[in-house]
């Protein structure tokens, strides 16, 4: 686990799940996701389980003040306390990627991120990628390339693609495969997803 991408993500506090072989083969090697012990220290120092502390979360450019338990995940708070239902509930253990959000522009699993850990950061969900009432470039590309089956995993796929393109403006197919490897699609639409990410890169370069 010495590749630069893993080390960089580790420094941000979370190692993303990676696949070293292509999706087609189904042979995978998983990097265990961890949350640093200090993540909940501020909240845990103030309250124990069942006790609430005040938190202010910046989501899609707006601040949301609420009371949370230190043990609550960002995923739970987004869906169950604030109503951001586009953040899909999947495995709840960092394996499927359906709950992926951007935290300060970097893709993170909301189910493995404490709500208090995200305080002070900029959190972006699927709807935060829209341009007013219009779809953003990645969303447009997923529609154009028919990059979904049932659509359940699509929000996480789109957010992960956005995360990749913010660091790699013109990714190769191999980079797209690796960048999207932490998100599972039970419908198997991976070829369309890869095409969508490539089209999104072109749209972003065109300023759309």
At 190, which CATH number? 3.10.20.30
Give residue 52's pLDDT band: very low, low, confident or very high (50, 70, 90).
very high
What mean pLDDT is predicted for residues 66-77? 98
Residue 67: predicted pLDDT: 98
Could you tell me the residue range of the domain that residue 194 belongs to? Answer: 4-205
Classified as helix, coil or strand, 113 is coil
Q: Give the tokens for residue 39.
A: 């993540």
User: Quick one: DSSP state of residue 73?
Assistant: B
For residue 92, the surrounding DSSP H or E stretch is none
- In the chain, % of residues over pLDDT 90: 73
All residues at 6 or more sequence positions from 10 whose CB lies less than 8 Å from its CB, including other chains: none
Full 3-state SS string of 3-72: CHHHHHHHHCCCCCCCCCCCCCCCCCCCCCCCCCHHHHHHHHHHCCCCCCEEEEEEECCEEEEEEECCCC
Give residue 49's pLDDT band: very low, low, confident or very high (50, 70, 90).
low
Residue 47: predicted pLDDT: 56
For residue 206, the surrounding DSSP H or E stretch is none
Is 11's pLDDT higher than 90?
no
- In the chain, % of residues over pLDDT 70: 75
pLDDT digits (tens, 9 = 90+) for 115-153: 999 999 999 999 999 989 999 999 999 999 999 999 999
- For the chain, the average pLDDT equals 83
Q: Could you tell me the sign of the dihedral formed by the alpha carbons of 84, 123, 116, 180, in that order?
A: positive
Check: CB of residue 173 under 8 Å from CB of residue 201: no
Residue 34: predicted pLDDT: 33
pLDDT digits (tens, 9 = 90+) for 161-184: 999 999 999 999 999 999 999 999
All residues at 6 or more sequence positions from 167 whose CB lies less than 8 Å from its CB, including other chains: none
Residue 9: predicted pLDDT: 41
Residue 207: predicted pLDDT: 59
- Ramachandran sector of residue 105 (left: φ over 0; alpha: ψ -120 to 50; beta: rest): left
User: Quick one: DSSP state of residue 157?
Assistant: H
* Of 100, 96, 120, the residue nearest 110 (C-alpha): 100
Is 40's pLDDT higher than 60?
no
Is 38's pLDDT higher than 90?
no
What mean pLDDT is predicted for residues 74-96? 96
Q: At what angle do helices 154-167 and 190-205 cross, to 10 degrees?
A: 40
Is 58's pLDDT higher than 80?
yes
- How many structural domains comprise the chain? 1
Give residue 78's pLDDT band: very low, low, confident or very high (50, 70, 90).
very high
DSSP 128-161: GGSBTTBPPHHHHHHHHTT--SSSTTHHHHHHHH
Q: Give the tokens for residue 172.
A: 């190769």
């Amino acid at each position: 686990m010495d590749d630069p991408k893993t080390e960089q993500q580790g420094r941000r506090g979370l190692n993303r799940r990676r696949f070293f072989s292509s999706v087609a083969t189904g042979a995978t090697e998983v990097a265990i996701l961890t949350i640093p012990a200090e993540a909940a220290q501020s909240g845990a120092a103030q309250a124990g389980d069942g006790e609430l502390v005040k938190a202010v979360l910046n989501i899609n450019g707006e601040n949301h003040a609420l009371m949370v338990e230190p043990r609550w995940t960002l995923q739970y708070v987004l869906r169950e306390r604030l109503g951001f239902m586009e953040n899909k509930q999947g495995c709840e253990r960092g394996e499927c990627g359906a709950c992926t959000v951007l935290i300060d522009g970097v893709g993170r699993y909301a189910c493995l991120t404490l709500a208090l850990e995200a305080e002070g950061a900029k959190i972006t969900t699927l709807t935060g990628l829209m341009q007013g009432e219009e779809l953003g470039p990645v969303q447009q590309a997923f529609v154009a390339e028919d990059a979904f089956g049932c659509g359940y995993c699509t929000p996480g796929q789109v957010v992960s693609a956005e995360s990749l393109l913010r660091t790699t403006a013109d990714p190769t197919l191999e980079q797209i495969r690796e960048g999207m490897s932490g998100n599972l699609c039970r419908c198997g639409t991976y070829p369309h997803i890869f095409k969508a990410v490539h089209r999104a890169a072109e749209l972003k370069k065109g300023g759309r």
